Amino acid sequence: MIITRNRIASLLRKRGYKITPQRRAVLNTIALSHDHLTPAAIYEKVHRENPGVGLVTVYRTLDLLTELGLICEVHAGGSCRSYLMRRPSEHHHHLICSECGTVADFAECDLNKLEQKLCRKTGFEINGHLLEFSGLCQNCRRRKPEDAT
Amino acid sequence: MIITRNRIASLLRKRGYKITPQRRAVLNTIALSHDHLTPAAIYEKVHRENPGVGLVTVYRTLDLLTELGLICEVHAGGSCRSYLMRRPSEHHHHLICSECGTVADFAECDLNKLEQKLCRKTGFEINGHLLEFSGLCQNCRRRKPEDAT
DNA sequence: CTGACTGCAAATAGTTTGCATGACG
DNA sequence: CGTCATGCAAACTATTTGCAGTCAG
C-alpha cells in the first residue's frame, strides 16, 4: 500500500469527513486489488469481510474517494464505472477484447507532451487521462477470421 | 455523409439484415451529428422526425450498427454509452471538466506507434482507441483555486 | 453530545426481453 | 409468403434518495 493510511486519514479529517470502518474497508479493498473493481465487486469483497457494510455505503464511499482524488473511475469495456486506486507509480492502461472481454494491461503511454499542449491551448488543468484500446485478442482473432468486405 | 448509403445498405443485406426506415433514420441521425449522442438523444431526434420509432428499436439498431462497425461506442465523461459515426477522418478526442462537464475536443493523437507496438506485443488486433483527458476547465480553475495540500 | 454516516427500503434511470403484429425482400 | 424487425409493456439491473437509528470526534 503506497499511499499511507495516515495520509488518507488526515486528508479525510481535513475536509471534515469522518473515518469510519466502512470507509476503511472500501478503501482497503480497492488498494489491495491491482485491478479495476466495479461497485458490485467492491461491495462483494468488502461485505464478505465486513458483513455490516451495505451496497449503498459502497456507492457513497466511492463518490467520496473519487472526489478526494484517492481513487479514479475507469471505463473498462462495456461495463462502466469501475474504480481503481490512484497510484501514479503503477499507472497503466488497458487493451480490451471487444469479443470476449479479455483485458491486457500496458504501461507505456507518452501523453505528457500532448497534455501540455492541450493545457496551453484550452486553459484546462489536466489531472488525468483515460486511454484504452479495443480490438480482438488472439483467440478471438482466430475464431473470427476477418470478414470479407 | 462520407459513408454512402449504398455501401451501408449492401453491408446490411450481405449479413442478412433488412433495411428498414427505422434503421435508416437512426443511422442518418448519427451520421448528421458531429457529436456523440446518447441512446436517449438519438431516440429523441429520430422520434421527432419519425414518431413511429420506439426507443427499443433505437437500442437494437445501435447494437446492430456497432456490430457492423458503422458506429462506435464512446465513453464520454460520466455518461457512458454515447455513439458516434465511425469516421476516421474526423477522429477526435475529448477533454472533460470534472467540475462542470464542459467538453473540449481535440484531434491530435499520435497513438499509432504505440498501437503497433501493442499489437506486436499482445497479439491483439486493435480496432480503436479511447483517449480522454480530465481536469478542470478555465472557469472552474478560477473558482476552485487549488486546495492547499 | 452533535452532526455526520449508515443501512434499509423505496424510488429512479437506463437497458433488455417476450410476444403479437407488421413489413422487407 | 416467410422471416426478420418493430413496438409495446413488463422485467431487470444499476444507482440514487429519504429517513431514522448509530457512531466518530
Q: Where are the domains of chain B?
A: 1-90, 91-149
Classify the C-alpha dihedral A10-A16-A22-A27 as positive or negative.
Answer: negative
* Biggest distance spanned by C-alpha atoms of chain B: 61
- Residues B55-68: tens digit of each pLDDT: 999 999 999 998 88
Q: In chain A, pLDDT over 90 holds for what percent of residues?
A: 29
Domain B91-149 architecture: 2-Layer Sandwich (3.30)
pLDDT, chain A, mean: 80
Q: Over range A69-84, report the average pLDDT.
A: 69
R_g of chain B, CA atoms, integer Å: 18
Instruction: Check whether A128 has a pLDDT greater than 50.
Output: yes
- A1-90 to CATH, choices 2.40.160.10, 3.30.530.20, 1.10.10.10, 2.60.120.260: 1.10.10.10
C-alpha cell at A28: 482497503
**Chain A residues near residue B111 by CB distance under 8 angstroms:** 131, 133
Nearest nucleotide (C1') to alpha carbon of B55: D7
Q: Over range A70-92, report the average pLDDT.
A: 66
Chain centroid offset of residue A89 CA: 14
Q: Which of residues 46-65 of B touch strand D (CB under 7 A)?
A: 52-54, 56-57, 60-61
What is residue A19's predicted lDDT score, i.e. its pLDDT? 93
Q: Following CA atoms A104, A107, A113, A114 in sequence, which dihedral angle do they give, to the nearest 10 degrees?
A: 20
Q: Which of A63, A23, A69, A12 is nearest to A46 (CA)?
A: A23
What is residue B85's predicted lDDT score, i.e. its pLDDT? 65
Q: Over range A9-25, report the average pLDDT.
A: 91
Please check whether residue B132 touches A, CB under 8 A.
Answer: yes
Do residue B95 and residue A104 have CB atoms under 8 angstroms apart? no
Do residue A124 and residue B104 have CB atoms under 8 angstroms apart? yes
Instruction: Check whether B132 has a pLDDT greater than 90.
Output: no
Q: Over range B36-54, report the average pLDDT.
A: 90
Those residues whose C-beta lies under 8 Å from the C-beta of residue B116, and which sit 6 or more positions away, are none
pLDDT level of residue A147 (50, 70, 90 thresholds): very low
pTM for this prediction: 0.74
- Residues B73-130: tens digit of each pLDDT: 776 555 566 777 666 556 778 787 766 667 788 888 888 889 999 999 999 988 778 7
Instruction: Check whether B148 has a pLDDT greater than 50.
Output: no
Distance CA B92, CA B48 (A): 28
DSSP state, residue B89 = G
Distance CA B51, CA B49 (A): 6
Q: Which CA-bearing residue is nearest the C1' of C6?
A: A57
